[in-house]
Structure 1
Amino acid sequence: MTRVRADDYGDKKQSILDRAAVLFARKGFELTTMVDVAAACGTSKSRLYHYFPGKENLLFEIVREHIAGQASELTDIVAMPISAEERFQRYVDAFVRRAAHSRDEHLVLMNDLKFLPAAHRKLVRKLETQLVDLMTGLLKEINPALMLPDKVQTPYAMLLFGMIIWTFTWYQKSGAIAPAELAARISHLFVHGFKDSGFADGCLNNGGR
């Protein structure tokens, strides 16, 4: 007989994912056990297996959910009927806000993707490539001449991604600079440069939506 799922199955599953993400981000995937996750969730190991058959399944769902949500949001932003620079600012703002809000998931994606089976890694990498392609398209619109040589297109997009992604190894949203301001400064720095940017405190150039 098929077991009927409880009405709160989805909520409990999400709670497990949230707590597992905290453990993986702070303790590391290799050192975290399903017993650790069960204890963090206030349940038994056997009960945990009702939701996830193994630790790798937990890891995959954490990173897949995080980057799939990101890809969906950023795709919608790039399709907006506004200028390329405005879409660029909104893209960076959304990326930074999601990474700040879901910092544990972001760190798990950065550090633990290598522990997934090849097929699952391929699915996640496909979504990551989608994000890079979206950014490459925006940069082409902003400065077509600069992005004309094929050989520079991916490097320019990856320079931006590196700036954002690695920031969250040290950045805390509770610090002196809020996510909206951080995003605005990243956008302005990348588009206008450092020496001649003219970016002053209090001048977010509408980047902190």
Structure 2
Amino acid sequence: MTRERSDNYDDKKDLILRKAAALFASKGYELATMMDVAKACNASKSHLYYYFPAKEDLLYAIVKEHTTMLMSKLSNVHDMKATALERFERFVATFVDVAADSRNEQLVLTSELGFLPPAKHKEMLAMEQQLIDMLIGLLREINPDRMDRVEVETPYALLLFGMIIWTFTWYKKSGAIKPLELASHISDLFLNGFRSSRRG
């Protein structure tokens, strides 16, 4: 395959993934059909099947690409040479920024993962666990006394992830609060609590 043909293939594949993510996010994976996706792409059903033989392949590609990209960005933050607090705040800001820019993909990952076949579902859960482990490490650095029992580590991390992830069922970056400000509020609430003085 020539470079030009490869780029064209990738562009068409990306278009399908974006349109499918929007449909799955708004209509739900179960209700959205491959014909719906084909119409959204202004393409034939056979054209769609050339790229994705089954609807579950399309779902898998959406969540795998989104999670892989998110993991790459968060891993870079996690490995920065900075204090734990600085890396934590950058971690939250990066997560919020990625989710705001890829809201449909984030909603699909949040709500539709259970429709994957068992092996692929297990693979995605393993990737999510890597994100949880990164966050646990940061929280342990920030306050090891609070992370003194292994049974509380995952719940603390999931509380923060829940705060971020479910935000995108209602949040859109076109609103009054921009992603960076939202991330700052999330970090402040999680680390300092609602009754503490708000940072400048």
Normalising by structure 1, we get a TM-score of: 0.92
Residue correspondence of structure 1 range 194-205 to structure 2 within 5 A: 194-196=194-196, 198-199=197-198, 203=200
Residues 93-139 of structure 1: CA deviation (Å, up to 9, x unaligned): 00001111111001111111111100100111011001100000000
What's the Cα RMSD here?
1.5
Corresponding residue for residue 207 of structure 1: none
**Equivalent residue letter for 1:91:** F
Number of matched pairs: 198
1:75 maps to which residue?
Answer: 75
Query: What TM-score does the superposition give when structure 2 sets the normalisation length?
Result: 0.96
Q: For 2:108 and 2:151, how far apart are their aligned partners in 1? A: 30
Alpha-carbon distance in structure 2 between the residues aligned to 1:65 and 1:97 = 16
Amino acid corresponding to residue 160 of structure 2 in structure 1: L
State the match for 1:144 in structure 2.
Answer: 144
Instruction: Give the helix-richer structure, 1 or 2.
Output: 2
The equivalent residue for 2:57 is: 57
Separation in structure 2 between the aligned mates of residue 32 and residue 85 of structure 1, nearest angstrom: 42
Superposition deviation, residue 199 in structure 1: 1.1
Take 2:30 and 2:189, find their aligned partners in 1: how far apart are those partners? 37
Deviates more, 1:147-156 or 1:84-93: 147-156
For 2:118, give the aligned amino acid. A
Which residue pairs with 1:178 in the alignment?
A: 178
TM-aligned CA deviation for residue 6 of structure 1: 2.8
| Partner AA of 1:199 in structure 2 | R
Which residues in structure 2 correspond to 1:1-209 (within 5 Å)? 6-7=5-6, 8-196=8-196, 198-199=197-198, 203=200
Distance 2:157 2:107 in 1: 20
* Structure 1 consecutive aligned stretches of length 4 or more whose deviation exceeds 3 Å: none
Unaligned runs of 5+ residues in structure 2 are: none
Runs of at least 5 residues in structure 1 that lack an aligned partner in the other structure: 204-209
Write out per-residue CA displacement over residues 121-168 of structure 1, whole angstroms, 9 at most, x where no aligned residue: 011101100110000000000001111111111111111011111111
Q: Quick one: distance in 1 between partners of 2:161 and 2:42? A: 37
The percentage of counterpart residues that share the same residue type is: 55
Instruction: Give the Cα separation in 2 of the matches to 1:92 and 1:188.
Output: 10
2: distance between equivalents of 1:70 and 1:86? 19
Could you tell me how far apart the structure 2 residues matched to 1:146 and 1:28 are?
39
Structure 2 distance, partners of 1:195, 1:137, is 26
Structure 1 residue 62, shift from structure 2 partner: 0.1
